[in-house]
Amino acid sequence: MSEAVALIVAAGRGERLGSDGPKAFVVCGGRPMLDWSIDAFRAAGVTRIVVALPAGYDAPEGCIGVPGGVQRSHSVRAALEAAGDSLDVVLVHDAARPLVTARIVRDCLAALTADVDAAIAAAPVADTVKEADGYDVVRTLDRARLWAVQTPQVFRAEALRDVLAQDDAILAAATDDASLVEARGGRVLVVPSPRDNFKVTTPEDLQLAELVLASRA
Q: Are 57 and 64 in contact (CB under 8 A)?
A: no
Q: What is the pLDDT of residue 2?
A: 58
Three-state secondary-structure class, residue 168: helix
What is the pLDDT, as a whole number, of residue 107? 98
Q: What is the C-alpha separation between 178 and 188, in angstroms, rounded?
A: 7
Question: At 86, which amino acid appears?
Answer: S
Provide mean pLDDT across the span 31-54.
Answer: 97
Cα diameter, the chain: 51
So where are the chain's domains? 4-216
DSSP secondary structure string for all residues of 84-113: -S--SEEEEEETT-TT--HHHHHHHHHH--
Residue 90 near residue 7 (C-beta atoms within 8 A): yes
1 pLDDT band, cuts 50/70/90, is very low
pLDDT > 90? residue 204: yes
Check: pTM over 0.85? Answer yes or no. Answer: yes
Instruction: Give the gyration radius of the chain's Cα atoms.
Output: 17
Q: Looking at the predicted structure, is the pLDDT value of residue 213 above 80?
A: yes
Q: Are 68 and 51 in contact (CB under 8 A)?
A: no
Average pLDDT, the chain: 94
Identify the CA nearest to 165 among candidates 184, 191, 187.
Answer: 184
End-to-end alpha carbon distance in the chain: 29
Calpha distance 195→19 (Å, rounded): 24
- The topology under which CATH files domain 4-216 is Spore Coat Polysaccharide Biosynthesis Protein SpsA; Chain A (3.90.550)
pLDDT for res 80: 96
pLDDT digits (tens, 9 = 90+) for 73-117: 899 999 999 998 888 999 999 999 999 999 999 999 999 999 999
